[in-house]
């Protein structure tokens, strides 16, 4: 076991560029992961269907099929965590992939530390530890049982909607949530399209929490995509 996660966790790297595939394989292997590779969507589906894969790192630009379609196909029968690898400019692609069932994304080019952090956050979600209703993010504490939020021990008053948004972000800490996902989980499917209202609530929520950018508990904006609570 090392600092990167459970030793020997099986990661499938789906990437058609040989150099990138090699780089990811070497880096992840060095950090204790057991890496399998695929260079097409078809190969990826075959590998996932073998059932041994614990996390998928999926390049969206594949030669034989769209990575978004790979997500959809996997989600028909598997809940394996999927992190898509995208080019920074393609915000609509990220949203489409997340809405198609991907759990998270990293932008190309990315650093290995960032990638490892994403992998860890998504593996944690896939195998939750014994439920503790009190979540801690630096100075911020979210008590899911008592529906209360405090910072450095001081109670913070939130509206019902603000609390529900924070609850969803906190229970997915470290992972990005699209505007639609966040609204659906916090408010219900009928609110999915209410992005302008979401922005208003997020401004208020951030102000009340008062956590500086970069610190645990801060709600980071993922431009054009959604939000992520820093773990
Ligand atoms: Ca590619």
**CATH fold for domain 10-126:** Rossmann fold (3.40.50)
CA 88 to centroid of ligand 1, rounded, Å: 13
> Using CA atoms, how far apart are residues 222 and 133, in angstroms rounded to an integer?
27
CA 17 to centroid of ligand 1, rounded, Å: 6
Class at the top of the CATH hierarchy for domain 134-229:
mainly alpha
Pairing status of strand 154-156 against strand 226-229: unpaired
Pairing status of strand 148-151 against strand 154-156: antiparallel
- CATH 1.10.10.10 domain span(s) along the chain: 134-229
Beta bridge partners of 134: 143
Closest CA to 67 of 81, 83, 78: 83
Q: pLDDT tens digit string along 204-221?
A: 999 999 999 999 999 999
Q: In tens digits, what is the pLDDT along the chain, a chain of 231 residues? A: 334 445 689 999 999 999 999 999 999 999 999 999 999 999 999 999 987 899 999 999 899 999 999 999 998 888 899 999 987 677 788 888 998 889 999 988 888 999 999 999 888 877 665 567 899 999 999 998 889 999 999 999 999 999 999 999 999 888 899 999 999 989 988 888 888 999 999 999 999 999 999 999 999 999 889 999 998
CA 154 to centroid of ligand 1, rounded, Å: 48
Whether residue 168 has a cis bond before it, omega within 30° of 0: no
- CATH 3.40.50.2300 domain span(s) along the chain: 10-126
Q: For ligand 1, a single-atom ion, which residues have Cβ within 5 Å?
A: 16, 59, 61
Q: Rounded to two decimals, what is the model's pTM?
A: 0.72
- What H or E segment, with its residue span, contains residue 221? strand 219-222
223: Cβ–Cβ under 8 A, 6 or more apart, which residues? Answer: 91
Helix, strand or coil for residue 83?
strand
CA 134 to centroid of ligand 1, rounded, Å: 41
């Amino acid at each position: 076991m090392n600092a990167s996660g459970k030793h020997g966790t099986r990661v499938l790297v789906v990437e058609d560029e040989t150099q990138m595939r090699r780089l990811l394989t070497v880096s992840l292997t060095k950090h204790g992961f057991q890496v399998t590779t695929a260079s097409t969507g078809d190969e990826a589906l075959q590998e996932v269907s073998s059932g041994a894969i614990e996390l998928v790192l999926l390049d969206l630009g594949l030669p034989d099929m769209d990575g978004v379609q790979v997500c959809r196909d996997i989600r028909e029968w598997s809940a394996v965590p999927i992190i898509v690898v995208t080019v920074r400019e393609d915000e609509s692609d990220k949203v489409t992939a997340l809405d198609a069932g991907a759990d998270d994304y990293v932008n190309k080019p990315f650093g290995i530390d960032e990638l490892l952090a994403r992998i860890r956050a998504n593996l944690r979600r896939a195998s939750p530890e014994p439920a503790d209703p009190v979540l801690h993010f630096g100075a911020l504490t979210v008590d899911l049982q008592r529906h209360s939020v405090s910072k450095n021990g001081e109670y913070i008053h939130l509206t019902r909607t603000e609390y529900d948004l924070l609850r969803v972000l906190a229970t997915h800490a470290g992972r990005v949530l699209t505007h639609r996902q966040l609204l659906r989980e916090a408010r219900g499917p009928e609110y999915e399209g209410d992005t302008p209202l979401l922005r208003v609530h997020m401004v208020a929520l951030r102000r009340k929490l008062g956590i500086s950018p970069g610190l645990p508990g801060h709600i980071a904006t993922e431009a054009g995509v959604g939000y992520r609570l820093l773990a």
